[in-house]
Amino acid sequence: MSNLRASKPPSLQAARLGAALALVCSSAPAFAQTPDPHRAQPERPTVATHAGTVARGWVELEMGGESDRYADQSRGALFPMVMKIGVASRAQLSVFGSAVRPPRGGDAGSSDVAVGGGDLAIGVKWRLADDLPALGRFAVLPSVKLPTGSAPSGTGTGTTDASVLLISSHDLGPVSLDINAGYTRRSGSGITTPKTAMVWTVSFGGPARDPIGWVAEVYGIPATSGPAGQERLVAALFGPTVTLRSWLVLDAGAIVPIAGPQPHAIYAGATWNVGRAWK
């Protein structure tokens, strides 16, 4: 789960956390608001999130790993985790954390850090409507990212970020469609990390053959300005999902760059609806 996906780390890692992130599709329409509170509602592995929220009093965990290979042949990794708590009938508290292995090797140099803690983000997803004209299920996700990671070692951005993500979800027969648009404003001078950034995503998911599903997404970050500005980024994500139980969904797949500094990546992870924490 963002505040906006950019080159990683720290920018891409912050992006996934801020967007809420970070991050799947089961053999049923995965992003529909399910009447079963114990059914997992994965937001991974896509950069997009869906408009659904965890039922009030229930807790869901998402965790995974991603291995990145950059154009200069350096390699890095990200291990995100998201805890989602239903705090109201239409509101979900999300807490995003991660461990990060900065790029190692390659012509651009390497980090001496093996694995370090990344930045922490907290957001609340508000599901405002379930059947609006054009927007379908619609939610808004404001979030704040704190500089808990280390900017010098590459596990964080060193900035405090405020973000807002707009989420539109639709069921197209058995296929789910999620469209996101987000904006982030960061603290700091803008020398090492752009002060503002935006993100857009278009994600699809659906059933293949029970219990296997599929997910595919295209996402992008417009070019940023300032001393740390980067060219625009566009990438595609795709892969299978496996619903082991209604409350446990696994995912795996690949991310390929279309334009800009996105590294090639492979990922795997799981979404686990832990159960009811209170009545």
CA atoms within 13 Å, Cβ hemisphere of 9: 38
Residue written as tokens 């059933």?
207
pLDDT (average), residues 50-55:
97
What are the tokens at 253?
């797949």
Q: How far, in Å, are 21, 96, 142, 143, 157 from residue 126 at the CA level?
A: 15, 17, 9, 11, 27
Provide the pLDDT for residue 103. Answer: 86
Does some domain include residue 193? yes
Does some domain include residue 5? no
Does some domain include residue 119? yes
Give me the number of domains the chain comprises. Answer: 1
Does some domain include residue 237? yes
Give 159's contacts (C-beta < 8 A, 6+ positions apart): 145, 147, 151, 186, 187, 188, 193
In this structure, which amino acid lies at residue 33? Answer: Q
Q: Tell me: the pLDDT tens digits for 138-150?
A: 999 999 999 999 8
- Determine the structural domain holding residue 110 and report its residue range: 11-276
Q: How far, in Å, are 1, 156, 165, 188, 270 from residue 64 at the CA level?
A: 10, 18, 22, 30, 6
Provide the pLDDT for residue 192. Answer: 85
Does some domain include residue 2? no
Is-contact 113 10, C-beta < 8 A?
no
Q: Specify the DSSP element, H or E, that contains 76.
A: strand 75-88
DSSP 48: S
Residue written as tokens 């219990």?
211
Q: What is the DSSP string of 242-259?
A: EEEETTEEEEEEEEEEEE
Does some domain include residue 3? no
Is-contact 125 137, C-beta < 8 A?
no
Looking up residue 23, the CATH number of its domain turns out to be 2.40.160.40
Q: Tell me: the pLDDT tens digits for 112-122?
A: 667 899 999 99
3-state secondary structure of 41: coil
This prediction has a pTM of 0.86
3-state secondary structure of 209: strand
Residue 166 has pLDDT above 80, yes or no: yes
Q: Tell me: the pLDDT tens digits for 59-114?
A: 999 999 999 999 888 899 999 999 999 999 999 999 999 999 998 754 444 556 67
Does some domain include residue 1? no
Does some domain include residue 259? yes
Is-contact 76 98, C-beta < 8 A?
no
